[in-house]
Structure 1
Amino acid sequence: MRLERVGDQFGVKVASVQPVHGGDLSEVARVELENGRIMAVKRGPVVDVEARMLKAMALAGAPVPEVLHQVDDLLCLEWLEDIGPSEEGWRKLGEGLRGLHGTGGADYGWPEDYAFGPLPLRNSPRDDWCEFWAEARLRPFLPDLPADLASRVERLADTLTERLPAQPEAALLHGDLWTGNALFGRAKAWMIDPACYHGHAEVDLAMLELFGNPPAAFWQSYGETDPQREDRRPVYQLFPALVHLRLFGDGYRGMVTRMLDAAGV
């Protein structure tokens, strides 16, 4: 469906369509209807899964955009104005993420697989966290890695039982919570573009720290974390580093190497 025909779903003609920067893995646009309604409209092969993830997060009380309509490869979302982070915005993000992590699951994973563009993301549920992280988040990259990196990633995967808890609380995760997937309004914050599954809450925290460190207001509102979290951080940050290497090329090889060095493999 052409984006100009989105209005057909709402009985109103489209007044304007503006591409939104940042749609690396799917087509994203700001669509305004003639009645003044504004939506974020996405097109991609897995937007139906994204819609179900957003609805699950909303049921958990997390601050996310409302799903207005989804059919085939089209997803229409509430438009959120991002005015940039503030101390209060970071505090709200911490509260929202803590609430999301307070929603548990029976096992680790998600009922559906997902994808980052051409990169499949396997989510088959497992009852052992170390097994899930090794088999669903590290080993799938091995066939496409240079031999030196592959051997180090495999060595890390083989030793996860020494590094990670076997059965942490199976928190509901955003799954891709870097700062670009947080929007800030006036005294508000929202999480967008999820890649949900149930797992160790520290995964989201590690991802949020990958490209910078949230300010004190975030940590104060999120609440207490395990002091040993810092030792596990590079193990969790390795996954998004591998994703970036696979999707965007050798410019991220240094990031992968740094995470492996920090993990001591």
Structure 2
Amino acid sequence: MNRLAVIGAALIGGELRRVEAVHGGDLSEVLRIALADGREAIVKNGPAPQTEALMLRVIAASGAPAPAVLAASDEALVMELLPAGGTLSKAWVSLGLALARLHATAGTGYGWPTNYAFGPVAIENGWTEDWPRFWAEHRLMTHLAHLPSALARRVEALAAGLPNRLPARPTPALLHGDLWGGNILAAGDRVSGLIDPACYHGHAEVDLAMLGLFDQPGAAFAEAYGALEPDNDERLPIYRLWPALVHLRLFGEGYRPMVERILHATGA
């Protein structure tokens, strides 16, 4: 019997009857379990299940949809099984409204109480009161030692110029932190849950930039989300560079053209 499934069932006080893998867990094992008493749940491991549990609770507290946390330990996170199976093509309005609620939850600085990770790639979340410094030190320069020298020099040069490119103190919005279509559950025309977060407080445009990296939110999403800040298009490639660098480190040279393209868009 799958060990993670057994741990998950025990955490919510049930006898495991059935387990199946859930598609899409690139960096964590994700399972759907059924218990003898008829309950069902999602169980996953990951870099820090209890940290992820806190993130999901904070998202839910903002009014944005997220699966309820049923239990968490150092080994496993057990979550509510949400309705899914829909596509974002019918749920853009719902997503725009959900993100507006999420981003309306403001912090007092930029960062998160603890560090996190995408698999083996660390996410450093030390608090700062200066947004360009946070983005430079905690999102871009942390990759320099892991990049080819030519790329590293370009990223370092971009980071040095961020005080002239990013607002010094934007509202520190609550961010999902890894917002793409695979981390958004939809049922019909509504978003049922934002999952697999990597939360921190930062400029709201970060989530929007990440969303547009792999998906194509259109006018309906934009209208539901609300007005954007002036010149936001100029900042999108700066914010997209971080997830591109993460993908390069996680999945290899196939993502180097994306990194090169985004760096070119930043002018670096």
Deviations 1:53-75 (A, max 9, x none): 11111111111111011112110
In 2, distance between residues paired with 1:185 and 1:134? 38
Partner residue of 1:218 out of 181, 199, 221: 221
- Structure 1 range deviating more: 237-246 or 76-85: 76-85
Query: Which residue is equivalent to 2:81?
Result: 79
Letter in 1 for 2:124: R
Identity rate of aligned residues, in percent?
A: 52
SS at match of 2:51: helix
How far is the alpha carbon of 1:88 from its aligned partner?
5.1
Native 8 Å contact 1:5 1:14 kept in 2? no
What is the match of residue 142 of structure 1?
A: 144
Q: TM-score, normalised by structure 2?
A: 0.95
For 1:204 and 1:63, the matched residues in 2 are separated by: 16
Does the 8 A contact of 2:4 with 2:76 survive in 1? no
* Equivalent position of 1:3 in the other structure: 5
Kindly indicate whether residue 41 of structure 2 is the aligned counterpart of residue 39 of structure 1: yes
* Matching of residues 89-128 of structure 1 within 5 Å: 89-128=91-130
Partners of 1:186 and 1:26 in 2: CA distance: 27
1:246 aligns with 249
User: Which residue of structure 1 aligns with residue 205 of structure 2?
Assistant: 202
Distance, in Å, in 1 between the alignment partners of 2:205 and 2:234 is 11
Question: Post-superposition, which runs of at least 4 consecutive aligned residues in structure 1 deviate over 4 A?
Answer: none
CA distance in 2, matches of 1:27, 1:221: 34
Q: Which amino acid aligns with 1:16?
A: R
Does the residue aligned with 2:185 lie in a helix, a strand or coil? Answer: strand
| Structure 2: distance between partners of 1:215 and 1:33 | 41
SS of the counterpart of 1:242? helix
* Equivalent residues in 2 for 1:21-32, closer than 5 Å: 21-32=23-34
For 1:137-216, what aligned pairs fall within 5 Å after superposition? 137-189=139-191, 190-216=193-219
- The count of residues paired between Structure 1 and Structure 2 equals 265
1:233 aligns with 2:236: yes
Q: Which amino acid aligns with 2:232?
A: R
